[in-house]
Amino acid sequence: MSGVDYIKRIVGQGGDRVIFDMEQKTLQIVYGKEGKPCDVNCETKAFEYSQNPTNPAFPNELELTEKGDVVHNVLISPYRRYAGPEFFPQEGNPTAEWVVPEGQYLLWVITEITVMTAVFGDLCRKKYCR
């Protein structure tokens, strides 16, 4: 391994709309208001990505620096194409778009080493979140 941790992270909380662009492999969040989805005058965060030098531990993968509310590295396959069935479907939303239920978080990891996962969960804030 490269010594770099690729971990699940919280990308959304109750009311947030999380959108994954399957072609560009990028994230965007439309922040909710008071735990409810926002429809008007919404704050939006589009994650920014920059390419890192080739990582010898992962020569066939593309290591990017992802800048959102925090900065960290992500690992993707430039050859992987998403079609939609690999994503958790949420009724009423397009493929690869989710509204986080009130009182929950959206945990996310997208690396080809593991498998892309987007999981809703109920976390104890004091134990896991700063």
Highest averaged pLDDT of the listed ranges 16-20, 24-28, 71-75, 124-128:
16-20
The CA distance from 12 to 100, in Å, is 7
The pLDDT assigned to 103 comes to 83
The CA distance from 14 to 1, in Å, is 35
Structure confidence by residue, pLDDT tens digits, 26-79: 889 999 998 899 989 999 998 888 888 888 888 888 888 888 777 877 777 777
N-to-C CA span, the chain: 28
Whether the pLDDT of residue 124 is over 60: the answer is no
Domains parsed from the chain with CATH numbers: 9-128 (2.170.230)
The CA distance from 3 to 20, in Å, is 27
